[in-house]
Amino acid sequence: FQVKTMVSSVSLPGVEGRLGILRGHAPMLAPLAYGLLRYRRQGEWVPMVLRGGFATVQNNVVTILTTACERKNEIPVIEDARQALEEATNAFTEASTRTERLAAADALKLASARLQ
């Protein structure tokens, strides 16, 4: 999906830490980790959970490319997110094949990102 809106700032989950983007930011290309993207619109922070990807900044436009993201209304409530984290942790611990470990690691990263 696509979000086109005027915002005052964007906070991204960079691979090497959080990235803050304000008006006039220098052009940039950055890899993104699983985590919480937030943008400030009309004084309110709007959260989205990203599954990694890349961000570009150019001419006061932030473009995010990601394999998947969850909008504010799609992010599970905290109890469900904690349960998903516990299940993902157990699946990772019990994984016996490489494919199972990769799938469990993906679920674990997503569950952790939802709790940010």
pLDDT tens, residue order, the chain (116 aa): 677 888 999 999 999 999 999 999 999 999 999 999 999 999 999 999 998 999 999 999 999 999 888 887 776 676 777 887 888 888 888 888 998 888 888 888 888 887 77
Number of domains in the chain: 2
| Domain ranges, residue 20 | 9-72
Residue 3 inside a domain? The answer is no
Residues 13, 68 share a domain: yes
Residues 68, 80 share a domain: no
Residue 98 inside a domain? The answer is yes
- Whole-model pTM: value is 0.73
Q: In whole angstroms, what is the distance from residue 52 CA to residue 24 CA?
A: 24
Residues 19, 63 share a domain: yes
65-72: long-range pairs with CB below 8 Å, 24+: 66/32, 69/1, 69/37, 70/114, 71/1, 72/46, 72/47, 72/48
Residues 48, 35 share a domain: yes
φ, ψ of residue 3 in degrees (nearest 5): -120, 120
Sequence letter at residue 41: R
Residue 24 inside a domain? The answer is yes
Residues 16, 49 share a domain: yes
Residues 18, 56 share a domain: yes
Q: In whole angstroms, what is the distance from residue 9 CA to residue 20 CA?
A: 7
